[in-house]
Amino acid sequence: MRFSRFLLPLLALIFLAAASKPKLTIRFHTEVNPNSGSSFAVSAPVPGASTPLSLSKVADITESDVAAIFPFPANDGSMGCALKLDTHGRIALDSLSQEYHGALLVGFVNGRAVTAMLIDRRISDGVITIMRGLTPADIALMKKAYPTLGEKKTTQAAPAKSAPVNNDTPVIVVPPPLPESLPRGD
């Protein structure tokens, strides 16, 4: 009986915690050999490809590797976003850009394939760009989760407390010293 008394509040807290945060997933998977087997590869539809591609089951870069974003409007009316990666993400991107040279890197946002990029050079700066395909709702979720590059922080600082001013106190103004190069009139 005592167990059920604690179970209900615990379940309520779990559901409240799960419902409070908007869900955002950003995943990048590399193209792999279709003969890798079902434990390593999965067939998935990719934007711009006529047939599904074999992609690695495990994402190489995820939303936990993103440090900041820079959203921008795309030419087709959708949105694009540059993702600045943290140290772990930068190293992962550098490694996969060397290891999978010539393969595709497919980006998924909230489970939807939004981009497929050919890995044609080493990428060591830690920035990966989704050129188009994002919705304003995707960008709004990203802005809630990450800082936006180029925007100033809008934190309101508390005003500094100053000593009360007493208007009866005389004010003495001291002029600055004269420079050495001026004649002194001796």
Q: Where are the domains of the chain?
A: 21-145
Q: How confident is the model at residue 145 (pLDDT cuts 50, 70, 90)?
A: very high
From CA 141, how far away is CA 181, in angstroms rounded? 63
53-85 pLDDT, tens digit each: 889 999 999 999 999 999 999 999 899 999 999
9-60 pLDDT, tens digit per residue, is: 655 666 655 554 568 999 999 998 888 777 788 888 887 778 888 899 999 9
**Percent of residues, the chain, with pLDDT higher than 70:** 70
Closest by CA position to 114, among listed 122, 123, 105: 105
Q: What are phi and psi of 103, to 5 degrees?
A: -95, 175
In this structure, which amino acid lies at residue 155?
Answer: T
Look over the chain and give the mean of its residue pLDDT values, rounded to a whole number: 81
CA distance 186 to 180: 14
Q: What is the pTM (predicted TM-score) of this model?
A: 0.69
Secondary structure (DSSP) of 158-175: PPPP-PPP-TTS-----P
Query: 21-145: what fold?
Result: Gyrase A; domain 2 (3.30.1360)
